[in-house]
A = this chain, B = another copy of it.
Amino acid sequence: MPTYTAPTRDTRFIVNEVIDLASYGNLPGFEMATPDVTDAVINEGGRFCAEVLAPINQSGDQEGCTRHPDGSVTTPKGFKEAFDQFRAAGWGTLSAPEEFGGQGMPHVLGMVMEEFISSANQAFGMYPGLTNGAVSALIAKGSQEQKEKYLHKMISNEWTGTMNLTEPHCGTDLGMIRTKAEPQGDGSYAITGTKIFISAGEHDMAENIIHLVLAKTPGAPDSTKGISLFVVPKFLVNDDGSLGERNGVMCGSIEHKMGIHANSTCVLNYDGAKGWLVGEENKGLAAMFIMMNAARLGVGIQGLSQAEAAYQNAVAYALDRRQGRALTGPADPNAQADPIFVHPDVRRMLMDAKAFTEGMRALCLWGALLVDLSHKAPTEEERAEADAMIGLLTPVIKGYGTDKGYDVATNMQQVFGGHGYIEEWGMSQFVRDARIAMIYEGTNGVQAMDLCGRKLAQGGGAAIQAFFKAVGDDIAAAKGDETLGPLAEALEKALGQHQASTMWFMQNAMQNPNHLGAGAHHYMHIMGIVTLGWMWLRMAKVAQAALANGTDDKAFYEAKLATARYYMDRFLPDAGALRRKLESGADSMMALGAEAFATAA
């Protein structure tokens, strides 16, 4: 069975040293996050995930969820009990607002937990994860009455939440939804329609489920400008907070998926279910994007989390499994063979994983800090800057992070050779679970268009220019240094590819928007590569300083410098190739019509 240990040392390095959370003590809530509190949260949270959630990950995959004839769904053995422990320990409340029973801690710490939870058990993590998305939308758009009715119990995880967007005929293009909301004259609406792919849509782990549902009111425009958001509880909630009658929303079936078997992915049938408008009529898309943006960061971290879990098991296997001899001569002459760890191609895959996961962790936690700053920074200008930066980075974290996370999980499975293909070893599950993250909350193609078609141009390109300046400043500061200089120079070249790609879009996309679409995916990857390179430069700088100051943990910081060098050697070169592809534009890509794709007999 696969194992998992929360990478708490590395997390503390990023939280305490790289993003230096303590230096933001002036922000609301951050004053509580002193280093000792932060360390305790990281260590205890990591232990909870490793001890409670990881042991039921494989059994949950094997057993899956079961729908009963009455429409109820049971989760796999141990899930309900684990969720009880999760709720009792208050892990879901960490960075939720104190006003509704949360602990009000920085989102950074919430993000730390999201990684650990998802590494330990991605399918489990989706139950509180979707709840967080629904909570965000209600906080931003709900009425005071709705907030008071739902938020306390959702934040405490007594109830869970869902996001109901997709219908059988539409996912990305939400303007086409058909679910209807008929006003009932009493302030409520009757919701009727079918929603599919509803994660955590029905289960036995909480006493109520609060569905947030996109639907159309009568006469609404036939586009994304005509969709409204509704809150539809599984059980109606009485004014005293007690549960009332069962609402008209039922699980019609659960999907048979490639992975995340322990999460109940439901078809939900709404049959005149009672719902209430959240925010303004026909403004559902904006509310949905609040849920989506939170969810996209959470999904981005799933790319990291599956890569991390797969990596830990691949390291253990590579050190244990013996086949062949090191190319430079026997490493362990007394044994019949050397551990496969000695083989450069195995090391390549492990180093790729190490460089990706540690860089991605830095990016995700810095991204979470930007979320905090976008709400809590002292000035409007700082809040707006942070908001623009995290807006720009969100599709990169989601799209690049999950593409690369899947690649890494696949490579970690490869380390196991034939054993990697056998379900008992657990490596297949990491790959199968990682696969969904490239698809849900907007496919990675949608992320790429969000980045290139929306975020790049916003504010006259202010965010991307700020990004270039920040990376460029760090490069300039490092260039003269003996240790950091070579890293900075390598990154500078990749940044040049990124800037040139941006310029190419500016010069060509107006004339033919397909040029943008044809290069968007490549652009997202270029930006992912540069951004992780930047994180590595920042980590290397901290490591260098620690070594100069005479740290006790020399090996840790030296490994950071070595991994930074590996990253620059082996990740950055792709930026140039991707730029060349991007600059080939849409001509050859769009040259052929549908008939050229038919299989001719």
- Does A337 contact B428, Cβ atoms closer than 8 Å? no
A258 to chain B, nearest CB (A): 4
Which of A222, A258, A344, A432 has most chain B Cβ within 10 Å? Answer: A344
A418 within 8 Å of B by Cβ? yes
**Which of chain B's residues has its CB closest to A172's CB?**
B323
Q: Is A152 an interface residue (CB 8 A)?
A: no
Decide: B443 and A417 in contact? CB cutoff 8 A.
yes
Contacting B at CB under 8 A, from A559-592, are 559, 562-563, 565-566, 569-570, 573-574, 576-578, 580-581, 584, 586, 588-592
By the criterion CB–CB under 8 Å, are B439 and A600 in contact? Answer: no
Would you call A189 an interface residue if the criterion is a C-beta within 8 Å of the partner chain's C-beta atoms?
Answer: no
Q: How far is the CA of A421 from the CA of B588 in the complex (A)?
A: 30
Question: Are A570 and B584 closer than 8 Å at their CB atoms?
Answer: yes
Smallest distance from the beta carbon of A28 to chain B beta carbons, Å? 31
Give chain A interface residues in 278-322, CB to chain B under 8 Å: 312, 315, 319, 322
**Interface membership of A16, Cβ < 8 A:** no
- Closest chain-B Cβ to A412's Cβ sits at a distance in Å of 12
Judging by beta carbons under 8 Å apart, are A599 and B176 in contact? no
Docked complex: A408-445 residues within 8 A CB-CB of B: 410, 413-414, 417-418, 420-424, 428, 431-432, 435-436, 438-440, 443-445
Residues of B within 8 A of A520 (CB): 344-345
The reply to whether B346 and A424 form a contact with Cβ atoms under 8 Å apart is no
Measured between C-beta atoms, what is the minimum distance from A98 to chain B in Å? 30
Residue of B414, B435, B440, B597 near A350 (CB, 8 A) is B597
Asked whether any CB of chain B lies closer than 8 Å to the CB of A516, the reply is: yes
A404 interface residue (CB < 8 Å to B): no
Whether A423 contacts B257 by the Cβ 8 Å rule is yes
Q: Give Cα A595 to B354, complex, Å.
A: 13
Q: Which B residue sits closest to A319, measured CB to CB?
A: B594
Q: How far is the CB of A571 from chain B (nearest CB, A)?
A: 9
Could you tell me which residues of chain A, from 154 to 212, have a CB within 8 Å of some CB in chain B? 166, 169-173, 176, 196-197
Q: How many residues of A contact B (CB 8 A)?
A: 106
A513, B255: Cβ atoms closer than 8 Å: no
Nearest B-chain residue to A46, judged by Cβ: B601
Asked if B348 and A518 make an inter-chain contact with CB atoms under 8 angstroms apart, the answer reads: yes
Residues of B within 8 A of A584 (CB): 569-570
Known contacts A171-B323, A421-B257, A448 near B345 by CB under 8 Å = yes
- A449 at the A/B interface (Cβ < 8 Å)? yes
Shortest beta-carbon distance from A470 to chain B in Å: 25
A328 at interface (Cβ–Cβ under 8 A)?
A: yes
Contacts of A514 in B (CB 8 A): 327-328, 344
Query: Is B443 a contact of A414 with CB atoms below 8 Å?
Result: yes
> With a CB–CB cut-off of 8 A, which chain B residues contact A337?
173, 176
User: Please, could you name 29 A-B residue pairs with CB atoms under 8 Å apart, sorted by A?
Assistant: A9-B600, A10-B600, A196-B418, A197-B418, A222-B336, A256-B423, A257-B421, A257-B423, A258-B422, A315-B599, A341-B597, A345-B449, A345-B518, A410-B435, A413-B435, A417-B439, A418-B440, A420-B439, A421-B435, A421-B440, A556-B600, A562-B588, A562-B592, A563-B592, A565-B588, A565-B591, A569-B589, A570-B588, A577-B577
Known: A562-B596, A566-B591. 11 other contacts (CB 8 A): A5-B601, A46-B601, A255-B422, A256-B423, A345-B517, A348-B521, A569-B584, A569-B588, A569-B589, A573-B576, A576-B577
Closest 4 CB pairs between A and B? A344-B517, A9-B600, A569-B584, A577-B577
Taking Cβ atoms with an 8 Å cutoff, the residues of A that contact B are 5-10, 43, 46, 166, 169-173, 176, 196-197, 222, 255-259, 312, 315, 319, 322-324, 327-328, 336-337, 341, 343-348, 350-351, 354, 406, 410, 413-414, 417-418, 420-424, 428, 431-432, 435-436, 438-440, 443-445, 448-449, 512-514, 516-518, 520-521, 555-556, 559, 562-563, 565-566, 569-570, 573-574, 576-578, 580-581, 584, 586, 588-592, 594-601
